[in-house]
Structure 1
């Protein structure tokens, strides 16, 4: 299957993934903001627990970036929606992400590539970062203590957002894990916030906007 070109308007499409088709949704920047030379790939939470590219945290993260002039690419990991294949505990899912990243870089060679991941998606994007080499990474509720984070190499521009009342990812495990790393990062601790940011999605938008705005190639006020 020949991959499509990067669309000129927001739309869904199908890419040729490592084990078959991958569902993809491309959303261009909001029409009333200056376009940034950045494309961000946003990775969804655990496939076996109902995680998809339509998850509300994933879509809020994408919308936050679109408000800043960034194009976003959401996609379903293998076994989710119409994406082919079987759940592979984050290993094959890294290959899916790498395939999407390669397509973005081919189609948008002048753009910076950013990665964003929520929960399991944070794990996959962190594990793939050494090979993908994104210019920036946003990790929302990275599941430290639940998955093996050995050997990660995040970029210098790395934002971590963690709810302090997360009932799925142990917040202290995340904080302790970050303390063991030499990698520079910015941690945003969100009080009274559960794993899925119930009633806190607007606060999440603000945390993302404030955290990444200074990384944009074309500065915004």
Structure 2
């Protein structure tokens, strides 16, 4: 009998903790949640600002790991950037406001391809993580960027302009009531990257609190990664 998906729902997946060493010797901790059956794609998640409580367990990402492997056949790779703690542990190193974290991003992309051998990998950033994606996720092997609540806090116009020379798609999912960059402001800031697609989400806020917001975000991710345009089921 099907059960309604709730905030605490944890669906079947193969969950494997890992350690990844960066080129400057930082030990990153994380977990990959893989489908028990056929994989249709994968996401590497870059979490919100750690100095404001962001980590690999930030709720949208934890729910993605709890649901997407079973519901969409998507592998979800989560990790703590340098100096960040979660229930899984603390990555070594120190917070660098998005600078040295570029080495974390590259180490994790290498891990996804060279060790996990993932296919159809997309980079998903949320808040601080969107700046990491735009500034540092330029490895040619991934499929493109998905940006949740982009504040454009540290990304320069020059760094944005780079993406005009890169053919891969970028989608920004922007809450109507975002604390930093609402949809109209996002359209203005991102105008220098005409290919970037903005999806405004009514009634949502920066932190995507509430099941309707989470469901919308995970459904959009599923559509981008797998091509399935149907919203995710509300039951499993």
Q: Quickly name the TM-score band, shorter chain normalised.
A: 0.7 to 0.9
Which position in structure 1 is the counterpart of 2:206? 195
Structure 2 residues without counterparts, runs of 5 or longer: 1-12, 229-236
Q: Residue 75 in 1 paired to residue 75 in 2? A: no
Tell me if the contact between 2:143 and 2:169 (Cα under 8 Å) persists in the aligned partners. yes
Which position in structure 2 is the counterpart of 1:125? 133
Per-residue deviation at 1:91?
Answer: 1.1
Cα–Cα, structure 1 residues 110 and 139, in superposed 2: closer, same or farther, change >3 Å? closer
Per-residue deviation at 1:128?
Answer: 1.4
Please identify, of 104-113 and 58-67, the stretch whose mean Cα deviation from structure 2 is larger.
58-67
Q: Deviations over 1:68-120 (max 9, x none)?
A: 21212100000102101111110111110100111221124462332111000
Q: Deviations over 1:167-204 (max 9, x none)?
A: 2444433221222213x233210011111111221222
| TM-score when normalising by structure 1 | 0.81
Task: State how far apart, in whole Å, the 1-side matches of 2:134 and 2:141 are.
Answer: 10
Flag as ranges the 4+ runs of structure 1 deviating above 3 A.
Answer: 60-65, 168-172
Cα–Cα, structure 1 residues 211 and 132, in superposed 2: closer, same or farther, change >3 Å? closer
Q: Residue 210 in 1 paired to residue 234 in 2? A: no
Tell me if the contact between 2:112 and 2:118 (Cα under 8 Å) persists in the aligned partners. no
Structure 1 residues without counterparts, runs of 5 or longer: 1-7, 216-221
SS at match of 1:191: strand
| TM-score when normalising by structure 2 | 0.77
Q: Residue 26 in 1 paired to residue 32 in 2? A: yes
Tell me if the contact between 1:137 and 1:155 (Cα under 8 Å) persists in the aligned partners. no
- 2:46 equivalent among 32, 43, 52: 43
Tell me if the contact between 1:134 and 1:155 (Cα under 8 Å) persists in the aligned partners. no
Task: State how far apart, in whole Å, the 2-side matches of 1:155 and 1:76 are.
Answer: 29
Task: Indicate the RMSD between aligned Cα atoms, in angstroms.
Answer: 2.4
Task: State how far apart, in whole Å, the 1-side matches of 2:18 and 2:116 are.
Answer: 16
Q: Deviations over 1:129-175 (max 9, x none)?
A: 2245521221111112x222332426522221000101244443322
SS at match of 1:151: helix
Tell me if the contact between 1:133 and 1:155 (Cα under 8 Å) persists in the aligned partners. no
Which position in structure 1 is the counterpart of 2:10? none
The number of equivalent residue pairs is 204
Please identify, of 163-172 and 39-48, the stretch whose mean Cα deviation from structure 2 is larger.
163-172
